[in-house]
C-alpha cells in the first residue's frame, strides 16, 4: 500500500497531542489541512482512526495500533535527519543515553567522563527516567543506549542486553533513632519499622513488593519517593529505614547510617546496558558499550 509519508506524519502529531489544533501548530499548517489529511489517511486504510467530539479527540483501537508502530518510525526518521544535519553543519554527532538519576550519579559519571575525553565533539544527551521508562524510550528509538536495573519486565527481545554490574540491595538505618538489634532481622520483623522506598512503577519497587509477597508478607511503605538520594537523607534524620542499592551506600560514605543484617538473603540484581539490535550503533556508542561491559 503506497501512502504518502506526510499523512502518517500528520497522524503522528494528532495522535500524540490528541488535538487537531495543536498538531496544526506543530506542523505549521492549517487545522483544516490536518483534518483533510486524516480523512484521506482513514480513506486509504479503510479504518476510523479517531473518535471526534466537540471537546476532544481520542484514538480508536485501530488508531492506537497504528500509533504504536508509527511513533518509533517517526522517531527513527527524526534521529537520522538530526544526525545528518549535525554531521554536515558541525562535524559532530550526538549520543542519546537513557538512565535513572541514581544510575547516572552513582555509576555512569566516570564512564561519561572517559567518553567525553575520547569523543569531545560528540554531544551527550542524557534523558532521565525510571528503568521502565528508559526501556520504553529505547523501544521507541528515542535513545541509543539505556542503562537500567534488571529484572525489568519492559525490556523486550529485540534489545541486545549486556550485564555491566551485579549489586545487592540493602536496608539502612540511623541507630540514633531506632533500636535495631545486632542479630539479623527477618523480613517480618523489618515490617515493624517505617520503610522508606522508591515509588511504584519502578523496577526497585516491583522487586521489593514481589520479595515480600514471596514470603506471604504485605509491604506498606511509610514513605515513597522518586530519589534514592532523598531516601538516604530521610534515613539520616530518622524518618525510617531506607531500601537502596548497595553501590549508593558505599559512595554516600555516611557514618550515621548502618546496613541492617537480614535472615533472608536478598536476590542479586544487575545493571544492564541495552540497545536495539536492528539499529546499527555508531563507533562512539559502541565504545561506550565496550567500556561499560569491560570486566574490571
Confidence bin at 252 (pLDDT 50/70/90): very low
Question: Domain spanning 92-165+270-294: which superfamily?
Answer: Periplasmic binding protein-like II (3.40.190.10)
Q: Do domains 92-165+270-294 and 169-266 have the same CATH topology?
A: yes
Query: Cα angle vertex 76, ends 124, 28, to 5°?
Result: 95
Mention every residue, 6+ apart, whose C-beta is less than 8 A from residue 18.
56, 57, 58, 59
Residue for cell digits 520504553? 136
d(CA 235, CA 258): 10
pLDDT tens digits for range 224-245? 998 999 999 999 999 999 999 9
High-pLDDT (> 70) share of the chain, %: 93
- The per-residue pLDDT for 251 is 52
pLDDT reading at 279 higher than 90 = no
Average pLDDT over residues 170-191: 92
Average pLDDT over residues 272-277: 93
Architecture of the structural domain at 5-71: Orthogonal Bundle (1.10)
**Does residue 143 contact residue 100 with C-beta atoms inside 8 Å?**
no
Q: CATH topology for 169-266? A: D-Maltodextrin-Binding Protein; domain 2 (3.40.190)
- The per-residue pLDDT for 85 is 57
Average pLDDT over residues 66-86: 78
Domains of the chain, residue spans? 5-71, 92-165+270-294, 169-266
pLDDT reading at 90 higher than 50 = no
Mention every residue, 6+ apart, whose C-beta is less than 8 A from residue 56.
18
- The per-residue pLDDT for 114 is 93
> Which residues on neighbouring strands pair with residue 52, listed in sequence order?
57
Does the reported pTM lie above 0.85? no
Average pLDDT over residues 13-24: 90
pLDDT reading at 88 higher than 70 = no
**Sheet arrangement for strand 123-128:** 123-128, 94-99, 145-150, 269-276, 159-167
pLDDT reading at 84 higher than 70 = no
Residue for cell digits 506542523? 27
Confidence bin at 121 (pLDDT 50/70/90): confident
Please provide the average confidence, as pLDDT, over all residues in the chain.
88
**Sheet arrangement for strand 223-225:** 223-225, 195-198, 241-245, 169-173, 258-259
Amino acid at each position: 500500500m503506497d501512502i504518502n509519508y506526510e499523512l502518517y506524519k500528520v497522524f503522528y502529531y494528532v495522535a500524540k497531542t490528541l488535538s487537531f489544533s495543536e498538531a496544526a501548530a506543530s506542523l505549521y499548517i492549517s487545522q483544516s489541512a490536518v483534518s483533510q489529511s486524516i480523512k484521506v489517511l482513514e480513506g486509504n486504510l479503510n479504518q476510523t482512526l479517531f473518535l471526534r467530539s466537540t471537546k476532544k479527540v481520542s484514538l480508536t483501537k485501530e488508531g492506537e495500533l497504528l500509533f504504536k508502530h508509527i511513533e518509533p518510525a517517526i522517531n527513527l526518521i527524526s534521529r537520522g535527519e538530526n544526525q545528518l544535519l549535525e554531521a554536515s553543519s558541525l562535524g559532530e554527532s550526538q549520543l542519546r543515553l537513557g538512565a535513572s538519576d541514581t544510575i547516572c550519579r552513582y555509576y555512569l559519571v566516570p564512564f561519561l567522563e572517559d567518553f567525553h575525553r575520547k569523543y569531545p565533539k560528540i554531544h551527550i544527551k542524557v534523558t532521565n527516567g525510571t528503568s521502565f521508562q528508559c526501556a520504553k524510550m529505547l523501544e521507541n528509538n528515542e535513545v541509543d543506549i539505556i542503562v537500567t536495573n534488571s529484572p525489568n519486565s519492559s525490556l523486550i527481545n529485540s534489545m541486545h542486553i549486556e550485564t555491566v554490574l551485579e549489586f545487592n540491595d540493602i536496608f539502612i538505618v540511623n541507630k540514633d533513632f531506632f533500636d535495631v538489634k545486632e542479630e539479623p532481622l527477618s523480613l517480618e520483623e523489618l515490617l515493624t519499622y517505617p520503610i522508606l522506598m522508591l515509588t511504584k512503577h519502578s523496577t526497585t519497587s516491583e522487586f521489593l513488593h514481589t520479595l515480600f509477597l514471596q514470603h506471604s508478607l504485605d509491604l506498606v511503605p511509610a514513605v515513597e519517593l522518586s530519589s534514592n538520594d532523598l531516601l538516604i537523607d530521610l534515613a539520616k534524620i530518622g524518618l525510617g529505614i531506607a531500601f537502596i542499592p548497595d553501590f549508593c551506600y558505599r559512595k554516600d560514605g555516611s557514618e550515621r547510617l548502618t546496613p541492617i543484617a537480614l535472615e533472608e538473603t536478598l536476590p542479586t540484581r544487575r545493571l544492564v546496558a541495552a540497545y536495539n539490535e536492528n539499529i546499527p550503533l555508531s563507533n562512539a556508542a559502541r565504545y561506550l558499550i565496550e567500556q561499560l561491559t569491560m570486566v574490571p
